[in-house]
Structure 1
Amino acid sequence: MKFTNVSPLYSMTVGFDRLFDLLAQAERTEAAASWPPYDIERSGDDRYRITMAVAGFSADEIELIQHDAQLVVTGQRKDAEDRQFLHRGIAGRSFRQSFNLADHVRVTGASLENGLLTVDLVREVPEALKPRRIAIGGSTAMSGQDNAPTAQIERHPRAA
């Protein structure tokens, strides 16, 4: 596994600590952690969809939990004790898949159909956090004018 040291970049950034942590976490992810396979797609301007292949799992065997900026999907199959397999080729191992979500992204719904778990997400930035245009006020001084304070000299007539 290759590791890239990004610590020199910390001194050149402010507020990007989480970004570097996410990059480091992505490097540590192993191939086994990518099961079950999944797709992430954009379905609109601020809408996204995660589709996971979870064949063999029922809706009550899958749990979705969103906490802050992380979505965790876990699956635990409940095998019936009265079943005897002569050959078992369908993957049924348990899984735990976590997704780091951007700020202000929330899950709006989930469905399970034909072995595909679909999770719909939407990004809703509160009005107070959206960028806003700020008008610039002040004097109508012409450009190039010296705005340094000037000294005023008061002259008194001489008494004769």
Structure 2
Amino acid sequence: YDEGAGLEIIHDNHIIHRDLKPENILLVGSGDELVLKIADFSLSRKLVPGKYLETVCGSPFYMAPEVLQFQSYNEKADMWSVGAILFELLHGYPPFRGTNNVQVLRNIKSSASLPFSRRILQQSHPDCIDVCSRLLSVNPVTRLSFNEFYKHKFLRM
């Protein structure tokens, strides 16, 4: 399996997972035969292309700002979650925290830039920082789509 197969299947079938987070990414196998699997589709929904959903659901640390703001959203909400997971893999904690949805949203909105640590910026490949930054675009219009993410040079390394 390649690195995007699970997301590709979800995308191709017009499904929004709505609860992508580290706990819902499973590592199966051993050695060189490791496979990432996406789990827990209890909040997932089929989305007609060009349409939007409005239900606020998911885990606050990984929810896109449009979801936290009770705005309509599409599959790009899942791409924010992918960016938050990547950020957490780099840092050991999610990009925006708070004790509730309101605080998480406030922290997203008050941040002038992504809270990358100096160490991560110095030690990570620029393509890694770029893909993470573009996935965590507050504006869903400028956020990477699945296809843009899948074709990003960071995944082609």
TM range (shorter): under 0.3
Larger radius of gyration: 1
Higher strand share: 1
Higher helix share: 2
TM-score (norm 2): 0.27
